[in-house]
Amino acid sequence: MRLIYKRNGCDIWQYRFQYKNSKYYGSTAETSKAAAIRRAKAERAKVIAEYAAAQVARTGAFMPSPAGTPFMPAVAIGPRHTFDSAAKKYWDLVGKKTENADKLWGALKVAVQLAGPNNDVAMLSDLRMQEIRDEYESSPPKKWSKVEGERSPSAINDMLRLVVRIRNYAADLLECRMHYELHPRRWLLPEPINTRELSLAEEVRLEATCERLDPEILPAVKFLLFTGLRETAGVALTRKQVDETLNRVKVDLKGRGREKVEHRVHLIPEAREILDAMRHPGQEYVFTTVLRTPSRYRGGVRPAGTRVPLTPKTFARRFRKVLKAAGIENFTVIDLRHTAATRLLRGFGSMELVRRLLGHTTEKCTRRYAALVDDDLVSAMEMTAAFQRRGLQEVRDVIRKHSAIEATADLPGALSTLAEAQREMKKKMLAEMRQAHFTYATAA
């Protein structure tokens, strides 16, 4: 990289250099090349000296001035913060006020251990982020995971983003100057788009298994399929959130530290029947369960047979057992929401309707559901190509049949017969294709 250069049509020299993964550039305000070189070298020496002074201020260790740079006294540019101290301050000021504070507290402890409690936040680099990613990816999860014994790419990326969030907090609010610029594309894992949906055959098998093993969660499963709600909002639904006059429910959208936004979902007759059937005297929540054994609930022990609200965590645990018994693989609770969205998109082809059903603010989040419709397009194209191949073969048979006609024979009559055969074949193909597409759409 050249130290100085000129832009097209400009007589003033510009400087450009890189130091410690950071790029510096600007104008030398000089038209003389020799003067511009001296100015660029002075700018580079200034940057090196500031970096050396910052090292002394953060580590407390003596760092000699680099060769060829003027002496500068050790001036503290920013305080030194370890990951442990930065995470604690982030928790006190921001973390404990968030909606999922309990979950965040456990994730913060894991993030600090991965990054090193005593390591300097300012020294976090892309190489260190790759090491953190590999270490977290190789450690087996302690709790349930979609693929047994493996962490999903989204879970790994969430932990990496939390480490960077602590770093950015130290840089923005604690005035800690970072040494390296991070490039997330170098260490974030590609996250596959979740396009899993429940087929009608799997839905029948799931309902039969629920009725046999755990009939109490079946109404909640059907309700999530009909409304497209998340399990945290749908399973924990209260009677106050149900507007029977307008025939809809009001829930809060998922937010990460932002203000809650109210989302209204219209109830179709099937969903309304479920809510009417779930009426139990003295119960504030819609979906409840009867304790099978004496259990601790809200600070006390409730005896067996007591009816208590069905929590999203309990529902997800029991739902996984039913899925395993039904032989439905690669499916989670959130996929019930994906199924509702995909069926609506396949039926009407409108992304706006799906966005309003799910409560997304923009179509960016909704676009993931278009992948399944693309799969439908591929299947339809393959089906059409198969009919065309069969039709062409039958047309060739007609051509071979008339190829024995001599040149002196009735050529116009032969061509008319061939055209009529092609028209009949086309009508037959279109009728079979419509029937096949209808069968495919209703069974998907």
Closest CA to 76 of 50, 100, 94, 97: 50
Planar angle of CA 166, 168, 169, nearest 5 degrees = 65
Q: Who wins on pLDDT, 272 or 261?
A: 272
Q: What are the backbone dihedrals phi and psi of residue 24, each rounded to the nearest 5 degrees, phi first?
A: -130, 135
Considering the domain architecture, whether residues 97 and 164 belong to the same structural domain is answered as yes
Q: What is the pLDDT of residues 90-110, one digit of tens each?
A: 888 888 877 677 788 888 999
- Report, as an integer, the average pLDDT of 77-81: 60
Residues 301 and 152 in one domain: no
Does the pLDDT value for residue 71 go beyond 60? no
The pLDDT tens digits of the residues spanning 146-160 come to: 666 678 888 889 999
- Over range 44-72, report the average pLDDT: 57
pLDDT, position 254: 66
Question: Does 224 fall in a domain?
Answer: yes
What is the DSSP code (8-state) at residue 132?
H
Across the chain, what does the average pLDDT equal? 77
Sequence letter at residue 2: R
Question: Same domain for 358 and 245?
Answer: yes
| Predicted TM-score (pTM) of this structure | 0.57
Domain shared by 224 and 291, yes or no? yes
Q: Is 191 part of a structural domain of the chain? A: no
Same domain, yes or no: 97 and 242: no
- Ranked by mean pLDDT, which of 9-18, 388-397, 407-416 comes out on top? 9-18
* 435 and 381 in a common domain: yes
Quote the DSSP letter at residue 100: T
- Residue that finishes a domain, picked among 338, 364, 390: 364
Q: Mean pLDDT over residues 239-250, rounded?
A: 88
Q: Which helix (H) or strand (E) holds 394?
A: helix 370-402
State residue 143's pLDDT score: 67
Q: 141 and 273: one domain?
A: no
pLDDT (tens digit, 9 = 90+) per residue, 291-314?
888 877 767 778 888 888 898 888
133 and 90 share one domain: yes
Q: For residue 48, give the amino acid letter.
A: I
Contact between residue 121 and residue 170 where contact means Cβ atoms under 8 Å apart: yes
Query: What is the predicted pLDDT for the residue at 377?
Result: 57
Q: Which domain holds residue 339?
A: 200-364
Residue 441, pLDDT score: 45
In a domain, 93, yes or no: yes
Same domain, 327 and 404: no
pLDDT digits (tens, 9 = 90+) for 174-201: 777 788 888 888 899 887 666 678 888 8
Instruction: Please tell me the total count of domains within the chain.
Output: 4
C-alpha pair distances (Å), 307 with each of 81, 240, 293, 409: 50, 19, 11, 90
pLDDT at 224: 92
Say yes or no: 19 and 160 in one domain: no
In a domain, 66, yes or no: no
- pLDDT above 90: residue 219: yes
Task: Extract the tokens encoding 148.
Answer: 């047994």
- Is it the case that residue 58 has pLDDT exceeding 90? no
* Residue in 206, 207, 150 with CA at minimum distance from that of residue 327: 206
Residue 193 lies in a domain: no
Are 270 and 160 within one domain?
no
pLDDT at 55: 64
Q: What is the pLDDT of residue 315?
A: 92
